[in-house]
Structure 1
Amino acid sequence: MKHFKRVAFILIGLIVTICLSGFGYVYFKLNKMYVKDEAVKNTEEQGTMVEGITNILLVGTDGEYIEKWNRSDSMMVVTIDSKNKDIRISSIARDTYVDIPGYSTEKLTHAYAYEGIDLLKEVFKVNFNLNIDKYIAVNFVSFMDIMDELGGVEVNVEEKDIKEINKYIDACYGYYKNKDEKDKEYITKSGVQRLNGYQALAFSRIRYTDSAFARDNRHREVAESVYKEFAQKGVETYKKCAEIILNNTKTNISPIEMMNLAYTVLKINDKDIEQFQFPLEEYRNGHIISKQKGWVLEWDKEPNLEAWHKFIFGEEK
């Protein structure tokens, strides 16, 4: 069976977790996952607003490794805009056809498997004209535990997806470490409902009832639900979630800077997170390009990048 996929969307909650967990506890935990980067320096004190626009690349790998060797099966850019008091999420399709320096033109998802985060950041610079200096990468291990610790997440299950989600529940439950305590439960109805850990993972893995872009919409739906759940919980829940996430996470954001970003997110308190799907539907073409490279998304550069940069940075460049 394929490894669990698409877990980066839980990381929008990480920023809130870190702020609310208590500085001393989280500072210690952050140092376990922090990778020093000379290009990223921050000397602000705890509780300082981060001015302007901050972009963080969130990466979810399709296996247990977060250094490289596994593909980046889920990629989002979280934009924290303190000037306009706004949080925005961009989802980048894994099958986007890009130039990977030193390799070839192929799916975006392969860059991380080749050389990890450094190559993926280079791909963003070369293809999308985006200089991404901050990142958070996570593997699939923590997903189900986080969902359960939060008491589940609320999502809208469509009628057409019930059969497919139940198929994935069979697979995900086999990896569920709490199956001795909880019996397997299938989804029996459509509509807005609360899903537990293995159900939420199954929901995120649905891929054959519609398009890759509908799947990305489900990822963002889970991301927003996680964000809202974190904002309602207490300190003990934050500590437990921080323990789970930080043990399976890699980032180049320093502990102090992470605290300040978390403080900024809470001060912004965005109730309606804007979302963007790259590439845009009207400026892309999904097709099988060759037997070797499979199904890819070719995209029109100028209109896609103009719209995406406007979404991230606003009218001013």
Structure 2
Amino acid sequence: MKHFKRAALILIAIILVIGISGFGYVYSKLNKIYVKDDVVKNTEEQGTMVEGITNILLVGTDGEYVEKGNRSDSVMLVTIDTNNKDIKISSIARDTYVDIPGYSTEKLTHAYAYEGIDLLKEVFKENFDLDIDKYIAVNFTSFMDIMDELGGVEVNVEEKDIKEINKYIDACYGYYKNKDENDKEYITESGVQRLNGYQALAFSRIRYTDSAFARDNRHREVAESVYKEFAQKGIDTYKRCAEIVLNNTKTNISPIEMMNLAYTVLKINDKDIEQFQFPLEEYRNGHIISKQKGWVLEWDKEPNLEAWHKFIFGEE
């Protein structure tokens, strides 16, 4: 789980790097990604809101579009608990089998593709009894540019994955902004090696040579390598990475709120970020449910939600 912690530290570091450039710069950059909600909910209707606890939904899309039209390849819930001075991260499996209002019972990942963040928040309310107030959505293809900015990342490519990674390279190269300047390069051998942006994204998307859980391990391996490269760079690289992230992000957190949250995280200074994987291994069943809906994770509602809510809100 240390990989999740290090990935979270990267995001926190990016916020801090922007912050040292001055208030005006911070405000102008954050204001570009701020999308004000049309409707403000009545606090009496928000049954899972607890004073002192802020939940932020982090969504990473698997294509070019951050609004909708692409699936949510990664979904995480970051909990900032000022009552107990804790930072917590919940990782929700993309194949979790859920009821999508207006559609059908499908994988969680499809909700964002249908109608974007509003439908995904509705899915959280209907299936997990969680009211989502704040969110940050990121176009994950932008991380190709970050990895190139860092000079690539080192990962271990297994022999069985070479054919599959090259298949995804064809797709990922299509998103690559420098494709007219650089020829497409395939992986020709196994072992530890340095991958560029579109190769690393292709590596992260491998899913048919083993399992969805092995795919999550590859995500963490890439995050680990990004962290190591990031830690060795200077402030100019940090600022360029911040620009890349902000240009491919939308959020309903205002600039002032964002800076306050960054300050709060700094003040908490949690060096041991707690992790939760939903659904729990002992209360889930991964299988192919039908030809149309493919491989999904069915889950036992009561024990999973009881454990998850306790993780987020505490014993009470």
Q: Give TM-score scaled by structure 1 length.
A: 0.79
Cross-structure match for 1:265: 265
- Aligned-residue offset at 1:159: 6.3
Q: Does 1:309 align with 2:309?
A: yes
- Aligned-residue offset at 1:144: 0.7
- Aligned-residue offset at 1:230: 5.1
- Aligned-residue offset at 1:274: 3.6
- For each residue in 1:9-42, what CA deviation from the matched residue of structure 2 results, as whole angstroms up to 9, or x when unmatched? 9866654454455432221011111011377799
Residues in 2 aligned to 1:68 and 1:21: alpha-carbon distance in whole angstroms? 32
Report matched runs for 1:281-292 at 5 Å.
Answer: 281-292=281-292
- Aligned-residue offset at 1:299: 0.6
- For each residue in 1:82-139, what CA deviation from the matched residue of structure 2 results, as whole angstroms up to 9, or x when unmatched? 4544433222122211111222222212211222111110110111111111111122
Listed as ranges, the gaps of 5+ residues in structure 2 are none
Residues in 2 aligned to 1:21 and 1:45: alpha-carbon distance in whole angstroms? 39
Out of 45-54 and 215-224, give the one that drifted further. 45-54
Out of 84-93 and 240-249, give the one that drifted further. 84-93
- Aligned-residue offset at 1:220: 4.0
Change (3 A) 1:111 1:313: same
- For each residue in 1:37-57, what CA deviation from the matched residue of structure 2 results, as whole angstroms up to 9, or x when unmatched? 377799999999999432211
Change (3 A) 1:179 1:19: same
- For each residue in 1:197-227, what CA deviation from the matched residue of structure 2 results, as whole angstroms up to 9, or x when unmatched? 2232122112123211222233344446546
SS where residue 60 of structure 2 aligns? strand
Equivalent pair of 1:56/1:78 in contact (CA under 8 Å)? yes
Change (3 A) 1:19 1:204: farther
Change (3 A) 1:106 1:6: farther
Out of 111-120 and 3-12, give the one that drifted further. 3-12
Equivalent pair of 1:77/1:89 in contact (CA under 8 Å)? yes
- For each residue in 1:56-94, what CA deviation from the matched residue of structure 2 results, as whole angstroms up to 9, or x when unmatched? 111122322222222222211122344544433222122
Change (3 A) 1:273 1:221: farther
- For each residue in 1:174-194, what CA deviation from the matched residue of structure 2 results, as whole angstroms up to 9, or x when unmatched? 543345776766668877765
Out of 230-239 and 182-191, give the one that drifted further. 182-191
Change (3 A) 1:226 1:264: farther
Residues in 2 aligned to 1:205 and 1:314: alpha-carbon distance in whole angstroms? 34
- Aligned-residue offset at 1:251: 0.4
Residues in 2 aligned to 1:239 and 1:42: alpha-carbon distance in whole angstroms? 38
Residues in 2 aligned to 1:5 and 1:274: alpha-carbon distance in whole angstroms? 8
Cα RMSD over matched residues? 6.1
Change (3 A) 1:125 1:246: same
Equivalent pair of 2:94/2:109 in contact (CA under 8 Å)? yes
Out of 160-169 and 233-242, give the one that drifted further. 160-169
Q: Give TM-score scaled by structure 2 length.
A: 0.79
- Aligned-residue offset at 1:155: 5.0
Change (3 A) 1:106 1:173: closer
Out of 271-280 and 157-166, give the one that drifted further. 157-166
Out of 41-50 and 192-201, give the one that drifted further. 41-50
Equivalent pair of 1:46/1:256 in contact (CA under 8 Å)? no
Equivalent pair of 1:61/1:138 in contact (CA under 8 Å)? yes
- Aligned-residue offset at 1:250: 0.8
Change (3 A) 1:49 1:77: closer
Residues in 2 aligned to 1:302 and 1:80: alpha-carbon distance in whole angstroms? 24
Change (3 A) 1:110 1:50: closer
Change (3 A) 1:127 1:32: same
Equivalent pair of 2:284/2:300 in contact (CA under 8 Å)? yes
Change (3 A) 1:92 1:145: same
Equivalent pair of 2:6/2:227 in contact (CA under 8 Å)? no
- The percentage of aligned residue pairs carrying the same residue is 91
Out of 183-192 and 301-310, give the one that drifted further. 183-192
Change (3 A) 1:153 1:262: farther
Change (3 A) 1:50 1:292: closer
Listed as ranges, the gaps of 5+ residues in structure 1 are none
Out of 128-137 and 190-199, give the one that drifted further. 190-199
Equivalent pair of 1:125/1:131 in contact (CA under 8 Å)? yes
Out of 142-151 and 36-45, give the one that drifted further. 36-45
